[in-house]
Each structure stands twice: as structure tokens, then as C-alpha cells.
């Protein structure tokens, strides 16, 4: 299978190039020449891992040695469909080790990338994070021989729970606390890629959210939802950089039944406005309660428009916008009505359902629940009066030493702290 750039100005690439480079040389995003095909009887696969073995492993088997075992190991947790009412379901994607759906993509990408290294080849993953990506990437790649992760996060600008997940000791991972903003962290990563000093230790890669290696496995949980439901739902996807939605549209294009999709956005509304007929305009990022969806220029919009021309995309995907007040109300109403605690991102999706129902929409709807509510205990407790019980995966981290090195936001400081 070869991978081509959405901008069509780069040579076709191998899976290894697509996974390790992330971005194509022409600035476009990689897509496979053909989409995954759904083998007959996929609905009979017993779990997410089973779907991975039946659908994803054959798709990469020509390049990834031992693909089935890697996929089964990466996707070794459940994605249960929880029923809230007759036609409303939540697909819980947060049962992986770092409690967000980012585990699905990061764990699979890590295993594939490692399997594609030549003997003796070394890989450094350099990633900037303000939220769930960093801990999922660190956890996913940790301990793989020949692989190191350098994880940059902004001092004082991540939540207490996030900091606990980022700053702990993991084999092969160097957490770096940067005295600056998330933008400083991103700038450092970008400039490090252009600086030879950082390549002296092996191949440099970023594992960021535009990586096709993260999207391919994410298509699987959509199939898992249809399998568990035994019906054709409309999918409601809390969206930021649109990787999650793209994975769903890819699954649909490959033959998965879906009654449509909803791109549920917070106040960062550019893509929702595009779906309603506007041009796609890059905008400054607005900070919200659902901070993992605070993206002003969603990169994967380019993939979605490469998969479907705008008129077909607009027919398949509806956009909604939910502000912070409505997000809080959604957390509260979901708890009052169903006794269910939702994280702020999931609550944006649940608010989209409320709106669609107010407009008369019917039929089964599946809201993708992207993070565990215990990652956002303050917002959830403030809205409901109930504190989400802390899962074992978080409780375990309490009291572990903080091993992050703190640096000024300069390339020299980053190099000395993590690469010297």
C-alpha cells in the first residue's frame, strides 16, 4: 500500500515514511491510496482488538511484520457502548491506560513505528502537548527498544491531573517542563526539527495528531459501535483537530453503515461554519472548558475535503457549536437525567444531541466519549455536585516522584536538558 499527500505534490510514500515523517514534504497530509476494506463478517469480531486483527492487521501486513500481534497488544482494552436512553448511546473510548481516546492511536502508531525500524536504527519522538496527546504518546512509546520520547509541556498551564500523567518516570521518556506557553513548546519542537544537533541521536519524529498511523486504528472503534448496537447510528464526534471525525468518515467510505456524522465543536467554530456553507477560514484559538478541542485551524479539514468534495461532506456531516455555559448545562443535565458523569468534551457531543432532538431528529445516536470525567474533576464536580471516582490508572500516579526537568523556552536549554 502506498500513501499519497492531500496536496498531490509529493512523491507517493511508504507506510514507514508516512508514519515517521507525519507530514508530507509538500505540507499535505498522507492518505492511503485505497481505504481499508471491510471483510465479510466483521460484525462478528468480538472486541476492538478482534476488529483490529480482522480489519487493520491485513491492511498493513505487507509492511508491518507481526501486525496482528501488535494490533492486539495495542488495542487491549474495551470500547463499551453505554445506553443512556432508547436512542442515545455513549461509546466510551477512555478505558486505555491514560484515559482518553488518544490511547487508541498512540499505542498503535508506537508499535507500528517501532516494528518498521531497521535493526540498530534509533528513533526519538519529540512532542509538545497541552493535554491528552502527551501522556498517550509517552505511555504508548515507553519501553520500546531503540525509542526515546521527549515530552514538552508548559509550566503551570496543564491541569493537576494532566501534570501527574506527564511528569512521572517512564522508561525511555524524558518529560520537559517549559517555562513558557504551549506555543513556546510547539515552536521549540518545530525549530528542533530544523537543527542538526537534535538528529545526532537517531531519526526524529513527532507522532502528532496529523499522523495517519493514529487515524487508521481510530476507524476501528466506529465499527465496534455498529457491532455492539446492531443498527445504523448517527455518530456525534466531539471535535478539535478533526482526526477523530476523519477516522469515522474513512470507516464509512470503506463501507461501514452510518446515518451521518455530527462534528460537535466548542466555541472554536470555524469548521462548523464551513459545514453550514462558509469558506474555511483559519481563526485564532479560543480557550474553553473542553480544552482538547481548542483548535482554530483544524489540520484534518484538509483530509476530509480530500476524502469527499464539499457538497458530499456537507450532506454527510452536520456541524454544531456549544459554548462553555451550554457545556456546563450539558454535564449537569446528563447527570440529572441519566446519572451519567460526562467529561466536558463528551458533554459538547451530548449538547449536540439535545439540539438535534429539539429540531426533531430521531433514530439511534452514538456520542463518542473522548475522555474519562475524572481527568476533569473540578469542572464535573462544579456542574453536578458529584466528584467522579478516581480510576485506578490515576490513583496509582498519586505520590509518584515528578521527574520533569524544567527549562527556559530556548533550543539550547532543551538540547542540554534532553539531548546532550
Ligand X SMILES: *Cc1c(COP(=O)(O)O)cnc(C)c1O
- Measure Cα distances from 95 to 181, 208, 211, 298 in Å: 29, 21, 22, 26
The nearer residue to ligand X, 88 or 292, going by C-beta atoms, is: 292
Q: Which residue(s) pair with 264 in the sheet? A: 238, 320
Least Å distance, CB 245 to ligand X, is: 6
The DSSP secondary-structure symbol of 201 reads T
Q: Rule CB under 6 A: is residue 319 a binding residue for ligand X?
A: no
Q: Rule CB under 6 A: is residue 275 a binding residue for ligand X?
A: no
Q: Rule CB under 6 A: is residue 304 a binding residue for ligand X?
A: no
The nearer residue to ligand X, 101 or 198, going by C-beta atoms, is: 101
Give the binding range for ligand X (CB under 6 A) out of 44-52, 76-84, 240-248, 401-409: 240-248
DSSP string, 1-13: --EEETTS-S--B
Q: Rule CB under 6 A: is residue 366 a binding residue for ligand X?
A: no
What the block records as the C-alpha cell of 193 is 526539527
Least Å distance, CB 316 to ligand X, is: 16
The nearer residue to ligand X, 62 or 160, going by C-beta atoms, is: 160
Least Å distance, CB 292 to ligand X, is: 3
Sign of CA dihedral 346, 352, 355, 360: negative
Contact flags string 371-410 toward ligand X, x per CB under 6 A: x---------------------------------------
Q: Rule CB under 6 A: is residue 292 a binding residue for ligand X?
A: yes
Binding residues among 164-193 for ligand X as defined by CB under 6 A: none
The nearer residue to ligand X, 52 or 105, going by C-beta atoms, is: 105
Least Å distance, CB 46 to ligand X, is: 26
Q: Under a CB-based contact definition with an 8 Å cutoff, are residues 53 and 71 in contact?
A: yes
The nearer residue to ligand X, 123 or 237, going by C-beta atoms, is: 237
Q: Under a CB-based contact definition with an 8 Å cutoff, are residues 204 and 192 in contact?
A: yes
Q: Rule CB under 6 A: is residue 238 a binding residue for ligand X?
A: yes
Kind plus residue range of the DSSP H or E element containing 110: helix 102-115
Q: Rule CB under 6 A: is residue 242 a binding residue for ligand X?
A: yes
How many of the chain's residues bind ligand X (CB under 6 A)? 17
Q: Rule CB under 6 A: is residue 228 a binding residue for ligand X?
A: no
Given candidates 92, 103, 132, 184, which one binds ligand X under the rule CB under 6 A? 132
Rounded to whole angstroms, the Cα distance separating 32 from 247 reads 12
Alpha helices in 160-260 (DSSP H): 160-167, 182-193, 212-229, 243-253
Given candidates 124, 206, 241, 327, which one binds ligand X under the rule CB under 6 A? 241
Dihedral of the alpha carbons of 223, 228, 233, 234, in degrees to the nearest 10: -60
What the block records as the C-alpha cell of 307 is 476524502
Sign of CA dihedral 248, 79, 389, 129: negative
* Residues found near ligand X in the complex (CB under 6 A): 100, 102, 131-132, 209, 238-244, 292-293, 345, 370-371
Amino acid at each position: 500500500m502506498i500513501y499519497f499527500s492531500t496536496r498531490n505534490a509529493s512523491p507517493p510514500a511508504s507506510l514507514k515514511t508516512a508514519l515517521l515523517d507525519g507530514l508530507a514534504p509538500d505540507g499535505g497530509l498522507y492518505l492511503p491510496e485505497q481505504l481499508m476494506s471491510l471483510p465479510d463478517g466483521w460484525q462478528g469480531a468480538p472486541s476492538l482488538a478482534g476488529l483490529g486483527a480482522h480489519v487493520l492487521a491485513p491492511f498493513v501486513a505487507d509492511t508491518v511484520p507481526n501486525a496482528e500481534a501488535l494490533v492486539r497488544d495495542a488495542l487491549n482494552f474495551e470500547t463499551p457502548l453505554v445506553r443512556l436512553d432508547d436512542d442515545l448511546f455513549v461509546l466510551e473510548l477512555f478505558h486505555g491506560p491514560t484515559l482518553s481516546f488518544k490511547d487508541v492511536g498512540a499505542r498503535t502508531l508506537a508499535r507500528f513505528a517501532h516494528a518498521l525500524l531497521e535493526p540498530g536504527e534509533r528513533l526519538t519522538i519529540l512532542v509538545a502537548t497541552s493535554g491528552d496527546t502527551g501522556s498517550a504518546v509517552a505511555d504508548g512509546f515507553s519501553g520500546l527498544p531503540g525509542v526515546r520520547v521527549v515530552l514538552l509541556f508548559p509550566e503551570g498551564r496543564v491541569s493537576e491531573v494532566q501534570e501527574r500523567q506527564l511528569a512521572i518516570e517512564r522508561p525511555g521518556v524524558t518529560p520537559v517542563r517549559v517555562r513558557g506557553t504551549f506555543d513556546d513548546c510547539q515552536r521549540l519542537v518545530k525549530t528542533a526539527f530544523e537543527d542538526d544537533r537534535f538528529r545526532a541521536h537517531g531519526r526524529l519524529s513527532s507522532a502528532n495528531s496529523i499522523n495517519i498511523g493514529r487515524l487508521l486504528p481510530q476507524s476501528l472503534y466506529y465499527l465496534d459501535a455498529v457491532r455492539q448496537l446492531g443498527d445504523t447510528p448517527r455518530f456525534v464526534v466531539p471535535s478539535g483537530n478533526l482526526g477523530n471525525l476523519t477516522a469515522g468518515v474513512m470507516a464509512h467510505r470503506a463501507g461501514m453503515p452510518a446515518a451521518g456524522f455530527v462534528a460537535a465543536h466548542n466555541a472554536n467554530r470555524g469548521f462548523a461554519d464551513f459545514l453550514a456553507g462558509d469558506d474555511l477560514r483559519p481563526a485564532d484559538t479560543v480557550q474553553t472548558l473542553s480544552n482538547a478541542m481548542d483548535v482554530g485551524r483544524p489540520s484534518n479539514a484538509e483530509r476530509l475535503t480530500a476524502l469527499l468534495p464539499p457538497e458530499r461532506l456537507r450532506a454527510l456531516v452536520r456541524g454544531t457549536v456549544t459554548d462553555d455555559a451550554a457545556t456546563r448545562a450539558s454535564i449537569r443535565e446528563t447527570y440529572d437525567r441519566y446519572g451519567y458523569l460526562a467529561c466536558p468534551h463528551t458533554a459538547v457531543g451530548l449538547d449536540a444531541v439535545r439540539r438535534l432532538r429539539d429540531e426533531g431528529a430521531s433514530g439511534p445516536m452514538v456520542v463518542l466519549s473522548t475522555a474519562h470525567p475524572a481527568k476533569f474533576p473540578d469542572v464535573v464536580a462544579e456542574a453536578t455536585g458529584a466528584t467522579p471516582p478516581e480510576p485506578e490508572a490515576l490513583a496509582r500516579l498519586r505520590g509518584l516522584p515528578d521527574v520533569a526537568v524544567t527549562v527556559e523556552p530556548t533550543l539550547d536549554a532543551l538540547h542540554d536538558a534532553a539531548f546532550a
